Structure 1
Amino acid sequence: MSAEPPRPAHASRADRVADAALALLAERGTRGLTHRAVDEAAGLPQGSTSNVARTRQALLELAVRRLADREARVLALDELPAPAGGLDSLVDGLALATHRALTRNRELTLARYELALEATRRPELRVHFDAAGARFRDRLGVLVRAAGSTAPERHVLSLVAWADGLMFSCVAGTFHAEAPELDEVRAGLRELLAGMSGETASGGGKGVV
Structure 2
Amino acid sequence: MRGLTHRAVDEAAGLPPGSTSNLARTRAALLELTLTRLVELEERALGPALEAGPAALARRPSREALTELLVEALHVQIADARRTLARYELALEATRRPELRRVYDRAGRRFRDPAVALLAVLGSPDPVRHSRQLVAFTEGVMFDAIAGAGERPSREDSRAAIRELLDGMLGPA
Helix, strand or coil for the counterpart of 1:45? coil
Secondary structure in 1 matching 2:123: coil
- Secondary structure of the 2:2 match is helix
Q: Is 2:4 the partner of 1:33?
A: yes
The residue number in structure 1 matching 2:153 is 180
**1:42 is matched with which residue: 10, 13, 26?**
13
Residues 116 and 129 of structure 1 are in contact (CA less than 8 Å); yes or no, is this contact kept in structure 2?
yes
| Equivalent position of 1:88 in the other structure | 64
Task: Report the CA distance between 1:198 and its aligned residue.
Answer: 2.5
Q: Is the 8 A contact 1:87 1:147 kept in 2?
A: yes
SS in 2 for 1:32: coil
1:135 aligns with 2:106: no
> Does structure 1 retain, via aligned residues, the 8 Å contact 2:112–2:131?
yes
1:111 to 2:86 alignment: yes
Amino acid in structure 1 at the alignment position of 2:153:
P
TM-score by length of 1: 0.77
Instruction: Say whether 1:97 aligns with 2:70.
Output: no
State how far apart, in whole Å, the 2-side matches of 1:75 and 1:154 are: 23
Contact 1:60 1:125 in 2 (8 A): yes
One-letter amino acid of the counterpart of residue 41, structure 2: R
For 2:140, the equivalent position in structure 1 comes to 165
Matched, 1:197 2:170: yes
| Residue type at the aligned position of 1:121 | R
Matches within 5 A, 1:50-69: 50-69=21-40
Distance 2:158 2:147 in 1: 17
Instruction: Give the TM-score of the pair, scaled to structure 2.
Output: 0.93
Aligned equivalents of 1:184, 1:165: Cα separation in 2: 14
- Give the count of matched residue pairs: 168
- Whether the 8 Å contact between 1:95 and 1:186 is mirrored in structure 2 is yes
CA distance in 2, matches of 1:118, 1:97: 24
| Structure 2: distance between partners of 1:39 and 1:141 | 39
Moved over 4 A (4+): none
Deviation at 1:74, TM superposition (A): 2.3
State the identity %.
54
What corresponds to 1:149 in structure 2? 124
**Deviation at 1:197?**
2.2
Letter of the structure 2 residue corresponding to residue 196 of structure 1: M
Q: Give the distance between the partners of 1:71 and 1:61, measured in 2 at CA.
A: 15
Alignment-mate amino acid for residue 155 of structure 1: H
Name the structure with the higher helix share.
2
Could you tell me whether the CA contact under 8 Å between 2:125 and 2:170 is conserved in 1?
A: no
Describe the SS at the equivalent of 2:152: coil
**Is this contact kept in 2: 1:75–1:98, CA < 8 A?**
no
